[in-house]
């Protein structure tokens, strides 16, 4: 099964409002009004220039493992391989917030508007990550996900999955349909895009200790927050 989808920019902006609030300066800070204005300006730019789209396509676990081991550059132990042992179904996916808003960010930096560029970069990143979550939700509904199951996205370039895995992923998914491509370094264009695999599995399969090779240099521990989110809102 293959599905493409679009999300209205204002709807996506609303979905990332909580993350955007984390960008605000503390109450009482002399910068509070300035930062709030920057965030509002970035939101307006996003609404006017974003074109959020996504695509996902089901894939068998056997076919995915061929893609996953593609160029052989992965760590010797990775959390995704452990999650896959209990996976119910998978889909390759790519999502983007579009070329125009992605291109606006370097334009702002080039123009010396560093604060504006930084805030728009953050807003677009939140929105691209939210698009991945929306793809996960759509895949879960299509698969009639059970109450004890959850879908999480896993991406090349993270958690021991070498970024070179993008080549095999893109060859199979062909997300040019939504305007997403990779270059020779496996960097995506538009830059504010996310790709990877959506894994439907029992919620507990997504829960693991951060004790893999990749975890020794990790500063985010994102996996723990993602798993906790599934436990709070299963399905
Ligand atoms: S600790 Fe970091 S590198 Fe390790 S699985 Fe979690 S997010 Fe990935």
Output the pLDDT for position 234.
45
Pocket test for ligand 1, best of 220, 226, 227, 228 (most atoms within 8 A of CB): 220
How far apart are the CA of 153 and the centre of ligand 1, in A? 13
CA dihedral over 41, 44, 48, 53, signed as positive or negative: positive
User: Contact, 214 vs 160, CB < 8 A?
Assistant: yes
pLDDT tens per residue across all 235 residues of the chain: 999 999 999 999 999 999 998 898 888 888 888 999 999 999 999 999 999 999 999 999 999 999 998 777 899 999 999 999 999 999 999 999 999 999 999 999 999 999 999 999 999 999 999 999 999 999 999 999 999 999 999 999 999 999 999 999 999 999 999 999 999 999 999 999 999 999 999 999 999 999 999 999 999 999 999 999 887 654 4
pTM (two decimals): 0.94
Q: What is the pLDDT of residue 134?
A: 97
CATH number at residue 209: 3.40.109.40
Provide the pLDDT for residue 30.
86
Biggest CA–CA distance in the chain, Å, is: 56
CA 197, 198, 201 angle in degrees (round to 5)? 125
The predicted pLDDT at position 232 comes to 64
Specify the pairing of strand 89-96 against strand 53-59. Answer: antiparallel
Residue 150 bridge partners (DSSP): 201
Does residue 215 have its Cβ closer than 6 Å to ligand 1? yes
Whether 214 lines ligand 1, by a CB cut-off of 6 Å, is yes
Per the structure, how many domains does the chain have? Answer: 1
Domain range for residue 125?
2-232
């Amino acid at each position: 099964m293959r599905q493409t989808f679009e999300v209205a920019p204002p709807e996506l902006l609303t979905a990332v409002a909580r993350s955007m609030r984390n960008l605000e300066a503390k109450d009482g800070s002399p910068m509070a009004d300035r930062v709030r204005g920057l965030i509002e300006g970035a939101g307006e730019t996003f609404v006017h220039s974003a074109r959020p789209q996504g695509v996902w396509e089901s894939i068998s676990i056997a076919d995915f493992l061929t893609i996953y081991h593609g160029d052989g550059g992965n760590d010797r132990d990775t959390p995704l391989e452990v999650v896959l042992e209990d996976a119910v179904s998978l889909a390759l996916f790519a999502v983007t917030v579009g070329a125009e808003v992605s291109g606006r960010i370097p334009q702002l930096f080039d123009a010396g508007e560093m604060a504006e560029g930084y805030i728009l970069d953050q807003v677009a990143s939140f929105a691209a990550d939210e698009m991945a979550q929306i793809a996960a939700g759509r895949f879960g509904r299509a698969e009639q996900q059970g109450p004890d199951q959850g879908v999480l996205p896993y991406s090349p370039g993270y958690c021991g999955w070498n970024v070179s895995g993008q080549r095999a992923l893109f060859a199979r998914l062909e997300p040019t349909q939504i305007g997403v491509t990779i270059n020779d370094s496996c960097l995506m264009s538009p830059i504010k895009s996310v790709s990877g695999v959506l894994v439907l599995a029992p919620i507990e399969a997504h829960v693991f200790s951060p004790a893999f090779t990749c975890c020794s240099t990790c500063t985010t521990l994102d996996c723990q927050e993602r798993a906790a989110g599934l436990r709070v809102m299963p399905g």
